[in-house]
Amino acid sequence: MNPGYLSEYFEGVAAKKLSAVEADETRSNQHEYHATKNVRVFLGSPEEKTRIPARFLYLTDDDPDPIVEDAFLTLYNCRKEKPRAPEYHLYFPTTNVSLNAYEGDLLVIAKKRDGGLLVIIAENGSSIGRQIEWLFGLADLARCDFSVKSGLKTEQFRIDFPSRFILENIGIEVQTSEDTYLDDMLSRFAGRSTTREFSAYARSTLKDLSPQDQPDLVLMTWMEREEILFRTLESYLIADRLSQGFSGKASVAAVDVDGFLSFSLSVQNRRKSRVGLALENHLEVLFSENGLRYTRTAVTENKAKPDFLFPGVTEYHNPAFDPLKLTMPGVKSTCKDRWRQVLAEADRIDNKHLLTLETEISTHQTDEMAAKRLQLVLPRSLYQTYTPSQQTWLIDVASFT
C-alpha cells in the first residue's frame, strides 16, 4: 500500500455509463454487467461462481446523503459449460440503488483493499458524478465497455484536501494525522475550543506564508493544515470516548444505544459544520491581511445574513451609497443545490459572488449560476477539475481580493 494515495484504499476501479438494459429492470431480467477482460485484472477470473460482498450507493446533487444498501455482486463465467472463450458477467440483485438508476448514469465498481466492492451509481450530469470521475482519473466513459484504472499510486491519485472530501462522501474514511501537535492541542483545548480559536491555532503552526502575494495558495494551505490537525485531535478524543464504553446506568452489561447514536451523530454534524466555519475564519484573516474592509454575517433584508459584505453593513444600509460599490461573497465549502441560497441574501447587490472549495461543479449548474449573475470564486489549484470553458469564467481568490 502507498499511504497518501488512492492505492491505500482501492486495488482497482472500473467505470462506464449505464445502458438502458442495465438500468431499466423492465427492459431486462438479467441484472448483469459485462465483466470485461480489463475489469477482471483486479476482480479475477474464478472457475466457480463467486459472490463478492458489495456496498451500493446512489448519489445525486439534490440529496446530501446517498442511498446506501449492502448486498453483493456475483462474478461468473456464463460460458463455463460451452467450448467457447470465457465470458464473465457480474450479477447484481434488486436494491434501492438499482431501482433509482437510469440510462446514462455513471457506474463505478471499485475493489477495496479488504476485498469488498464499492458500487457507485451517480446521476447523469450531476456534479457529484463529475467529482467521482475526477477522483479516479476517468474520462470519455463509454456505454458499453468499462474504463479501468489500477495501481492508483501515481501523483494523479494522491489524496489531497478536495479528494479527501469526495472520498468521505462515498463512505471512505481517510486517515490523516500530525501527532507532533497532539500534546500541545490537548493542553490548549482540553477537547474544547471554538472554531475560530482552532483556525487561529492552525495558522500559527505555519510560517513564511504571504496572504498578500499568494492568497490562493495560502488559503488552501491553511485549510489543509486545520483539517489534518482537527482530525488528529478528533481521532484521539473519539478513541478515548469509545474506550469508556456506552453502558446504561441501570446495568453495567446494558448498552446505551441511544448514547452511542447521539455521540456518533454529534461527530458527523461537527465535521460538516466545522469546515464551512473554518473557511470563513481563514478568509476573514486573508481579507484583513489584504487591507479590505468588510462586515462578517451582517443582517440584510428579511433577516438574511450574508457571510461577508464589502465595504460593510453601514454602507449597505445607507440608501445614498452606490450599490455598484457593494460586494457580497457567499462562502460554502461545498455547494450542491445550496448555492441558490446566496441569491436572496443581499437585495441591493445584483451581481453576487460565491466562494467555494467544491471541485467539478457540473456545466449545467455553472451555466445557471452565470445566468443568475452569481460569479463562482475558488482557489486556483482547483481550476484543473473544471472544463476548459468553465475555467475561462472562474475567478480565483487573488482576483477577487
C-alpha atoms less than 13 angstroms from C-alpha of 308 in its C-beta half-sphere: 28
**What separation in angstroms does the CA of 120 have from each of 106, 115, 230, 334, 360?**
8, 16, 29, 20, 17
C-alpha atoms less than 13 angstroms from C-alpha of 162 in its C-beta half-sphere: 23
Short-list 26, 13, 6, CA closest to 141: 13
Distance CA 353, CA 363 (A): 17
Asked if 316 is an active-site residue, the reply is: yes
Distance CA 389, CA 23 (A): 31
Cell 449505464 belongs to 18
Distance CA 21, CA 96 (A): 17
Q: 64: cis peptide before it, omega within 30°?
A: no
Short-list 134, 215, 224, CA closest to 176: 224
Query: Is residue 246 packed enough to be buried (19+ CB in 10 Å), middle (13-18) or exposed (0-12)?
Result: middle
Catalytic pick among 76, 316, 383, 386 = 316
Distance CA 392, CA 388 (A): 7
DSSP letter (8 states) at residue 20: H
DSSP letter (8 states) at residue 395: B
Q: How far apart are the first and last CA of the chain?
A: 42
Distance CA 362, CA 140 (A): 15
The length of the chain in residues reads: 401
Distance CA 150, CA 135 (A): 13
Residues assigned a catalytic role: 316
